Structure 1
Amino acid sequence: MKRVFSCVVAASLALSLLVGCGASSTASSAASSAASSEAASSVASSAAETAALADGVYTAEFDTDSSMFHANEACDGKGTLTVENGQMTFHVSLASTHIVNLYLGKASDAADHEADWLQPTTDTVTYSDGTSEEVYGFDIPVTAVDTDFDLAILGTKGKWYDHVVSVRDAVEKAAEAETPADGTYTCDVTLEGGSGRAAVDSPAALTVADGKMTATIVWSSPNYDYMIVDGEKYLPTNTEGNSTFEIPVSALDTALDVTADTVAMSTPHEIEYTLTFDSASLKAND
């Protein structure tokens, strides 16, 4: 009888030990799961902090999963990212007016959330050949840069399509110098582009009237017969001596893209340059 009792006690102790191990394993698993969840939350929080940008205006790449849905070629695949009070909005000009609405999410959900459809703006883009076109653009709310998100598009045929996009490689735009008061000035100007053989007179004459700036550009050659600035063609203001033009200047301290056509070669040839006007060198004429 004592032997039977001893066996029962031993079995009870063994069962107790087994139950104890199971409880310990479950508690350990729960603790491990909690730790993993906390680590994941920490990583997500860190990623969000990394993606956050200071208030300001940036240029950024617009990456998509489709060659049919992209930034207009005149914009070189980029758009403008504005950060205000921590809220990010990305404006992109598209290739045409064939995409009429966007929706942040899946195409299957778009029809039930019409109030959330993004409405188009009408943007004017200028191509490298000087021609201009009106296309649709959109202001897209962005929660994080360098991160993929769902963006559905609605075409002119009334069908929604799923896409995955991202806003990447944000670079803050340099603050533009203020436009000087109306008057006449001289201002240092830097020419870049082409073969490097051409030059322009510096400083250049700069006139400000009604808040708009006009620069007199004198080339080192008499062989330029026109210039293109912001899609507009400008002819020389002189008939003798080195080619001279009066062109608009949108901002100081910012590279201005221009095209100049030269007849010095066997056939006329358009060459792309940039002109940068240095605000620090600005001097008012007496």
Structure 2
Amino acid sequence: MSQPVILVTGANGQVGQELRVLSASYPAFTFVFTDADSMPVNKEEVVQQMFAAHRPAYCINCAAYTAVDKAETEQELAFAVNAEGVRILAAACKNYNTRFIHISTDYVFNGQSPTPYKEDAPTGPENVYGVTKLKGEQLCREVNPESVIIRTAWVYSSFGKNFVKTMMKLMQERPAISVVNDQVGAPTYAADLAACMMQIVANTNTSAANWHPGMYHYSNQGRISWFDFAVGIKELTGSTCTVNPIPSKQFPTPAKRPSFSLLDTSKIRQTFNIAIPEWKESLKKCVALLKG
């Protein structure tokens, strides 16, 4: 009997790259990694060909248009990938009886909540990127209600471009930097999110009863601002750079950022028996990798 195939889209992104690393620990599965060149998710014909060729048991969608500020002017492209692409994948998964895991974002919320966001909290994105990701969620649930959607936030890793790598670079180059202290949330180490999704897949493979469709939230444990995050990076790298807190209004960006985006992760922990590491523990691992 052939091994179950896991089709990973957006394999060159942060979470996709972490899944590549993790794939070596899951020899019971055959992984097929695709990117924007080999399988653009918004090209229905190409997606159909890929599903017909590999008949995946699982599809993990890491493909996304994530340039938050550029999305304000590249709306069409953002919608093509984050909404239409999700609809196409969700439909293909339904067609081929493939279990679908889709990654979404905290940016579907307006950032005004007094408490961590639960999965059923009212949405209200404040920027185009958030609007496109929310549309993707809606299409996914409409087309394929058996999907698992995981919203995450503040993703970083040893791969690609992210806050941790930018801060480490700036702290080496400058005597002082300023970081916003009025946006609150919790970071997500992409390696932890990848491990969470693989745990869901592996457990489902053992018993189909372990598959629980629905909306979930995942980020590392804790509650911090971007300034706190930068200070954590400074401590772990031993940098002498001064980190100054500033309000968001002193750092204007084309896309508005939510001032509060803390996600309540209790549902994913309880449903799938997931242990989520504390943010600083995961940051420590990533910094160690980056320092080599």
Q: TM-score, normalised by structure 2?
A: 0.25
Larger radius of gyration: 1
Q: TM-score, normalised by structure 1?
A: 0.25
Q: Whose strand fraction is larger, Structure 1's or Structure 2's?
A: 1
* Greater RCO, CA 8 A, separation 6+: 2
Q: Whose helix fraction is larger, Structure 1's or Structure 2's?
A: 2
